[in-house]
Copies of this chain bind each other. A is one copy, B any other.
Amino acid sequence: MPTCRKVYDVTEFLPEHPGGQKIILQYAGRDATDAYESIHPPGTLEQALPPEKYLGELGETAKRALNRALENRKKTADEERIEKAQANKPSITRILNLHDLERVARQVMSYKALAYYSSAADDEITHAENTLAFRRFFFHPRVLRAVGRCDPTTTILGYRTSIPVFVSGAALAKLGHPLGEANITRGAHATGIIQMISHNASLSSQQIAVARGSPNQVLFYQLYKHKNDVVAEQRVREVEAQGYKAIFLTVDAVVAGNRERDNRALFEIEDMERTAADNSATQLEMDADAIAVAESGGTAGALLARDDLDLTWQTTIPWLRRITKLPIVLKGIQCVEDAVIAAETGLDGIVLSNHGGVALPPIEVLYKLRKQRPDVFSRLEVYIDGGIRRGTDVLKALCLGARAVGMGRPFLYAQSAYGEEGVARAVHILEREIITGMRLLGTATVADLVPEMYLQMTPFISPSGGRVK
């Protein structure tokens, strides 16, 4: 229950709202706290509005009336479904792999959260391709090598990690669990891995920094550069001051993509509710919400509307290098040519990923990079992100030269299903799978993983091409 509800004048802000005007007008004169908090990080409103627009707190009588109304509010069909699922959730000791975690999360998450977490670009082919691409690589395990002492630790940008995996910056963790990204921060601390924080997290970078298990816990920051350089610079300086250890500049999300499932989810919620059928005010608000968000490009669209669409090698990189001493990593490289430019530009790392679009799966780009330009791997660290679900996937990437892999959704699902404990479970599962895999490959250290000895790729084929939807 919110303890403190505030009143603002947003009249002048209306045309600037990234999510469109309608959704705000719908709540005019009424309480918008819950709807607002679940998708905006703290401080969003404060940054967007000048101080004089804050008109004061809601009176005590109004607050009480509001809280009473909220308590009496009839639960939606989705809320009832979730309550039942939470009650029947399996014990965490039964979770044996990341697919299990996802399965549980899908049962206990709201439909809206699920839509955001699982949405992918057009026809959802890219995402499936990413996962399937890993299956086109086969190991050549070696035998009769001592693997009694097997060590999966490594470093990322010089910082130690218990396994060659980091948390990739996925947004809106609070949609899945009330504690949001802090679950991941604590789970990462408990298990010794590094978390990259999304600019679009549902907690502020400050809140997450505070949630750290110790002051030495390493966090990276994923920057979606604001179109206004001054605002962007302020952001970078803030996170540096908060103790973040690297900037991952997002270079592939220049536009909201085409996340239809995200939009469609809202329509489907409407229909579910309509059949559950009570034309209460709550219901009407939700309809309006659905339409508004759909027009502005879904939840993901709302997040990106203020991003800079004119990032360039010539202006953006020097600007960023000038304002920070932190290592800079480009997140979203999708071809060999850009990887080479990144190396020549003196960046510290690149994340091969294909967030949005129908680009080549990252593991394939990694393979091409290894074949065509092996020199790049000695000039910067290369990571990949997308579709990784198994310890063997991690090992395949490392065999091809990746320093580590990023994983986003699996941790969102893990915290949605079991909070902090779920995140730790995910890391332990991966650790077990990685050690087992290394031993079967005949390698006792991460450094021993090399493509000549361990990996064979099949000719490049698009397997999902065979299925008509």
Asked whether A468 and B252 contact (CB < 8 A) given A139-B359, A140-B360, A357-B437, the answer is no
| A239 to B: closest C-beta gap in Å | 21
Q: Which of A128, A255, A391, A453 has the most CB of B within 10 A?
A: A255
- Report chain B residues within 8 Å CB of A467: 463, 466
A residues 315-361 with Cβ under 8 Å of B? 316-317, 330, 332-335, 337-338, 354, 356-360
Chain B positions within 8 Å of A332 at CB level: 143
Contact with B along A127-171 (1 / 0, CB 8 A): 010011001101111111111100000000000000000000000
Q: Is the CB of B338 within 8 A of A143?
A: yes
Asked if A447 is at the interface (CB within 8 A of a chain B CB), the reply is: no
Complex: chain B residue closest to A126, CB-CB? B138
Interface CB pairs A-B, < 8 A, 22: A94-B294, A122-B391, A125-B135, A135-B462, A136-B462, A138-B360, A139-B357, A139-B359, A140-B360, A141-B252, A141-B359, A142-B335, A142-B338, A143-B251, A144-B312, A145-B311, A146-B309, A147-B255, A258-B391, A461-B461, A461-B462, A463-B467
**Which of A252, A294, A335, A356 is the most central at the interface, judged by chain B CB atoms within 10 Å of its CB?**
A335
Interface positions of A (Cβ within 8 A of B): 93-94, 96-97, 99, 122-123, 125, 128, 131-132, 135-136, 138-148, 251-252, 254-258, 260, 263-264, 267, 291, 294-295, 309-313, 316-317, 330, 332-335, 337-338, 354, 356-360, 390-392, 432-433, 435-437, 439-441, 453, 456, 458-469
Contacts A141-B252, A147-B309, A148-B309 known; list 11 others, CB within 8 Å: A93-B295, A96-B260, A96-B263, A132-B468, A138-B358, A139-B360, A143-B332, A144-B311, A358-B392, A458-B461, A459-B460
Q: Is the CB of A140 within 8 A of B440?
A: no
Report Cα–Cα, A456/B373, bound state, in Å: 18
Total copies of the chain: 4
Assess whether A141 is in contact with B357, with CB atoms less than 8 Å apart.
yes
Contact B359 A390 (CB under 8 A): no
For the complex, give the distance between the alpha carbons of A238 and B405 in Å.
Answer: 49
Smallest Cβ distance from A28 to chain B, in angstroms?
22
The smallest C-beta distance from A260 to any residue of chain B, in angstroms, reads 5
CB pair A335 B436 closer than 8 Å: no
**Cβ contacts under 8 Å, A267 to chain B:** 94
Contact A309 B439 (CB under 8 A): yes
Measured in the bound complex, the distance between the Cα atoms of B432 and A382 in whole Å is: 33
Report A9 CB to chain B, min CB distance, Å.
30
Interchain CB contact under 8 A, B433 and A144: no
Q: Are A390 and B123 touching (Cβ within 8 A)?
A: yes
- Interface centre among A94, A131, A453, by most chain B C-beta atoms within 10 angstroms, is A94
Question: Nearest B residue to A330 by beta-carbon distance?
Answer: B143
Closest partner residue, chain B, to A309 (CB atom):
B148
Q: CA of A258 to CA of B441 in the docked complex: distance in angstroms?
A: 14
**Contact at A144–B466, with CB atoms within 8 Å?**
no
A96-B260, A356-B440, A359-B140 as given contacts; A466 in contact with B132, CB under 8 Å = yes
> 9 smallest A-B Cβ distances: which pairs?
A463-B466, A140-B335, A148-B309, A143-B251, A146-B310, A135-B465, A357-B440, A463-B465, A148-B310
